[in-house]
């Protein structure tokens, strides 16, 4: 596991580590993929970027007033996100940035610590 460190505000979700098919977020281990919002982390039943749909992001869309940037950790490498998903989220004021899961974890932590309105949809590696 690769360790990540930093000091979030009270209650914020900082990703401590990733790998071994899961994540440690604010000290809690999650097996499999996760949705990480600034103050909540949930299991995400996506095992591959090809399973990504707007419906699979519905919890993040529901929290859209708290999110301006959505990082999508696509697994071991970057992938193309369908334009209909990008457009629907952009209409909610959310910009998508897709990249490998490792870079998405690191970017999420930096943006969170910068007090940005960020969330991450991360496929386990």
Cα 68 to its chain centre, rounded Å, is: 12
Residue pLDDT tens, the chain, 125 long: 544 555 677 889 999 999 999 999 999 999 999 999 989 999 999 999 999 999 999 988 887 788 999 999 999 998 999 999 999 999 999 999 999 999 999 999 999 999 899 999 999 99
Return the CATH superfamily for domain 2-122. MTH938-like (3.40.1230.10)
Looking at residue 5, its pLDDT comes to: 52
Looking at residue 62, its pLDDT comes to: 85
Closest CA to 57 of 79, 34, 28: 34
> How far is it, in rounded angstroms, from Cα 17 to Cα 2?
5
> How far is it, in rounded angstroms, from Cα 48 to Cα 87?
21
Looking at residue 3, its pLDDT comes to: 45
pTM of the predicted model over 0.85:
yes
Residue with tokens 């952009």: 90
């Amino acid at each position: 596991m690769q360790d990540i460190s930093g000091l979030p505000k009270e209650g914020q979700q900082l990703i401590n580590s990733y790998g071994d098919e899961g994540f440690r977020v604010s000290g809690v281990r999650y097996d499999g993929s996760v949705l990480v919002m600034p103050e909540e982390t949930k299991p995400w039943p996506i095992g591959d970027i090809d399973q990504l749909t707007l419906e699979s992001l519905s919890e993040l869309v529901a929290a859209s007033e708290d999110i301006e940037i959505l990082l999508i950790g696509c697994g071991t490498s970057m992938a193309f996100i369908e334009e209909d998903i990008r457009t629907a989220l952009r209409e909610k004021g959310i910009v998508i940035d897709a990249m490998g899961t490792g870079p998405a974890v690191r970017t999420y932590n930096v943006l969170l610590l910068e007090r940005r309105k960020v969330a991450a949809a991360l496929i386990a590696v």
